[in-house]
């Protein structure tokens, strides 16, 4: 006997099947497995930033479940996350459910870091929690210590920019123009000095030639000068080696002769007429020397070769 369904019944049955299929499809897309047994594990977190229900749960890189729900616990101020995990994956009791950054965009996921305990977690047991610093968090941690240095650098840059602005104002431009003018004046002075030295080159070369000639003459006179010095040395040696007693005797005889009124020196010292003659001679010589000083050309003729 065939069951005949009316058009309305067929439409209702089709709608029911569609709803059931849609339900299973949606939950399958959420990661729920209807064909395997699942265990529920609870984890308490202080912060679940970025973690959302239906988020994936990984174990050694393989997805084994999802985040089923996240609830706020008022008495402690923490969050209770409920994980639905495939029961075929045994999890040691001292494992840790670690929240980490799944990508560079900051999406969060959970990974089970397995422990070494021999006891396995049972359904509705509690896992230890942990939060792994993401790439952005590590960058922030690295940048924060540089905050003071960056602030100091910005202050220095601000001071430098202010100084540049001061230089670029009218007064600064006038100072720069004055400096450039002074440099131009200095360069012109150097050019004048160089030109003067260039014009004086013949005179400088002549002076150098005269200096060379004088040096040559001194070289030629070195040998006679050495001979003269040798002669002076011999005279000094002769004077040093002379008989001092004979010299003293001669000096004594000279003094005795000066004391004797009959001697020549004695007469010179005791005779008034001779003394007067000597004075007259000295006076005449003095006048002659004075005339020579006043009229040297009259007495002395100098020929320059």
Would you say residue 186 lies in a domain? no
Report the length, in residues, of the chain.
Answer: 305
Would you say residue 258 lies in a domain? yes
Q: CB of 233 within 8 A of CB of 225?
A: no
Number of domains in the chain: 3
Would you say residue 1 lies in a domain? no
Q: Which of 151, 168, 185 is the last residue of a domain?
A: 168
Residue 286: the pLDDT is 76
Residue 94: the pLDDT is 93
Structure tokens at 118: 């021999």
Would you say residue 156 lies in a domain? yes
Residue 199: the pLDDT is 66
The answer, as to whether pTM is greater than 0.75, is: no
Which residue range is the domain that position 270 belongs to?
A: 250-294
Mark whether 65 and 113 lie in a shared domain: yes
Mark whether 95 and 59 lie in a shared domain: yes
Would you say residue 35 lies in a domain? yes
Mark whether 79 and 152 lie in a shared domain: no
Residue 232: the pLDDT is 67
Would you say residue 211 lies in a domain? no
Mark whether 127 and 50 lie in a shared domain: yes
Residue 304: the pLDDT is 44
Residue 107: the pLDDT is 82
Residue 191: the pLDDT is 77
Residue 215: the pLDDT is 74
Mark whether 114 and 155 lie in a shared domain: no
Residue 122: the pLDDT is 92
Structure tokens at 36: 């395997």
Mark whether 45 and 75 lie in a shared domain: yes
For the chain, 305 residues long, give each residue's pLDDT as a single digit of tens: 556 778 787 788 888 889 988 877 776 666 555 566 889 999 999 999 889 998 899 999 899 999 999 999 988 899 999 999 998 999 999 999 999 988 777 788 999 999 999 999 999 999 999 998 766 666 666 676 777 777 788 888 888 877 776 666 666 667 777 788 888 888 888 777 777 766 666 766 777 777 777 777 767 766 666 677 777 677 666 655 555 556 667 767 766 766 666 666 566 566 666 667 767 777 777 777 777 777 766 655 554 44
Mark whether 70 and 156 lie in a shared domain: no
Mark whether 74 and 142 lie in a shared domain: no
Mark whether 105 and 142 lie in a shared domain: no
Q: CB of 57 within 8 A of CB of 112?
A: yes
Mark whether 78 and 114 lie in a shared domain: yes
**Euclidean distance between CA atoms 171 and 175, whole angstroms:** 6
Residue 92: the pLDDT is 93
Residue 98: the pLDDT is 93
**Euclidean distance between CA atoms 63 and 38, whole angstroms:** 13
Would you say residue 219 lies in a domain? no
Mark whether 128 and 138 lie in a shared domain: no
End-to-end CA distance of the chain: 168
Residue 129: the pLDDT is 92
Would you say residue 157 lies in a domain? yes
Alpha helices in 30-98 (DSSP H): none
Mark whether 90 and 147 lie in a shared domain: no
Structure tokens at 8: 């309305």
Beta bridge partners of 113: 96
Q: CB of 82 within 8 A of CB of 40?
A: yes
Residue 305: the pLDDT is 42
């Amino acid at each position: 006997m065939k069951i005949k369904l009316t058009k309305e019944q067929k439409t209702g049955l089709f709608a029911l099947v569609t709803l059931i299929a849609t339900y299973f499809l949606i939950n399958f897309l959420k990661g729920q497995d209807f064909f395997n047994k699942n265990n529920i594990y609870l984890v308490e977190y202080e912060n679940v930033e970025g973690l959302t229900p239906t988020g994936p749960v990984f174990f050694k890189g393989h997805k084994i479940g999802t985040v089923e729900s996240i609830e706020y616990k008022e008495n402690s101020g923490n969050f209770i996350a409920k994980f639905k995990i495939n029961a075929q994956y045994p999890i040691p009791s001292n494992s840790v459910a670690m929240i980490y950054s799944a990508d560079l965009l900051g999406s969060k996921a959970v990974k089970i870091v397995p422990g070494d305990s021999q006891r396995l977690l049972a359904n509705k047991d509690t896992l230890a929690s942990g939060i792994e610093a993401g790439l952005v968090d590590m960058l922030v941690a690295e940048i924060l210590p540089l905050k003071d240095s960056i602030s100091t650098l910005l202050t220095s840059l601000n001071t430098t920019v202010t100084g540049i602005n001061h230089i670029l104002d009218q007064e600064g431009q006038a100072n720069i123009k004055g400096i450039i003018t002074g440099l131009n004046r200095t360069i012109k002075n150097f050019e004048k000095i160089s030109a003067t030295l260039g014009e004086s080159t013949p005179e400088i070369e002549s002076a150098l030639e005269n200096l060379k000639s004088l040096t040559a003459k001194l070289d030629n006179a070195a040998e006679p000068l050495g001979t003269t010095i040798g002669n002076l040395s011999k005279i000094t040696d002769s004077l040093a080696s002379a008989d001092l007693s004979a010299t003293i005797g001669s000096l004594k005889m000279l003094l005795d002769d000066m004391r004797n009124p009959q001697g020549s020196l004695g007469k010179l010292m005791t005779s008034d007429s001779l003394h007067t003659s000597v004075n007259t001679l000295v006076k005449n010589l003095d006048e002659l020397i004075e005339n020579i000083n006043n009229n040297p050309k009259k007495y002395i003729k100098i020929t320059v070769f």
